[in-house]
Amino acid sequence: MVQKLRLLKESPSQTAGPYVHIGTNPNWVEITGVWQEDLGLVLVDPETKGERIIIKGRVFDGAGDPLKDALIEIWQADAEGLYNSPQEKRGKADPHFVGWGRQPADGMTGEYRFETIKPGRAPYKDGRLMAPHITVWIVARGINTGLHTRMYFSDEEAANAKCPVLARIAHKARVPTLVATRAEENGLPTYTFDIHIQGEKETVFFDI
């Protein structure tokens, strides 16, 4: 026998199931009066610094159908590239920006939508700057362990080309699966980020 190493194992994941919204967005499924508002719907207030943007998209299964029961969370830096978290040691993030959002996919169309700001750049482990990006986490019925991916910006070509994380993707043809395309909609820059769980256009997912 030898001495024991670490004491515990991580609790195994289980699917969020079809009714995840009861626990995360009860008001959205008409369970009203339990708490005032569902968490994560609003990311910005009038004093938040940075360029206002819309992010929208759908999550597709291997048959090409959009998931209408998915739940999408995002986590991002502020306009200066700082995270609003105690683990952030480089400086103090914008107090008007938490950086975390959560939206259910629309029950009819499968579309999700966030109103947020464009993040600044944060460093990779070795100090090189990563391109601006948003961390995305997807759960739904049929997804046994939540899927982590990243959204990058189509108007950041130079930064994307030098991003040490995007450089890790061996199959260069798959890099565009992480890049959201920018367009103007109702006067706001709108990025479309469709996520393909499976199939020819399968999104790159990370084991972080």
Partner 1 sequence: MSDQGSFYQRDRSWHPLAFTPSYKTSVLRSPQHPLLSLENTISELTGPVFGHDKLGPLDNDLLRNFAKTGDPIGQRIVVYGRVLDENARPVPGALLEFWQANAGGRYRHKKETYLAAIDPNFGGCGRVITDEEGRYWFRTIKPGAYPWPNGVNDWRPAHIHFSVFGHAFAQRLITQMYFEGDPMIWQDPIVATIPDKSAIEQLVAALDRQNTLPMDALAYKFDIVLRGRRSTMFENHMEGN
C-alpha span between 98 and 120 (Å, rounded): 14
| Tokens representing residue 120 in the block | 């600044």
Residue of 1, 2, 63, 108 that binds partner 1 (CB under 8 A): 63
Q: Does 61 bind partner 1 (CB under 8 A)?
A: yes
35 binds partner 1 (CB under 8 A): yes
Q: Show contacts with partner 1 in window 164-193 (CB under 8 A).
A: 165, 168-169, 174
> Which is nearest to 196 in space by CA: 69, 63, 18, 55?
63
190 contacts 54 by C-beta, under 8 angstroms = yes
Give the count of beta carbons closer than 10 Å to the beta carbon of residue 190. Answer: 18
Residue 43 touching partner 1 (CB under 8 A): no
Residue 152 makes contact with partner 1 by CB under 8 A = no
Q: Which of 141, 154, 176, 192 binds partner 1 (CB under 8 A)?
A: 141
Q: Is 91 in the site for partner 1 (CB under 8 A)?
A: no
Return the range that interacts with partner 1 (CB under 8 A); candidates 50-58, 83-91, 151-159, 180-188. 83-91
Q: Does 124 bind partner 1 (CB under 8 A)?
A: yes
CA pair distance 155, 170, nearest whole angstrom: 22
Question: Which is nearer to partner 1, 109 or 206 (by Cβ)?
Answer: 206
What span, in angstroms and rounded, lies between the C-alpha atoms of 204 and 198?
10
**Bridge partners of residue 53, in order along the sequence:** 116
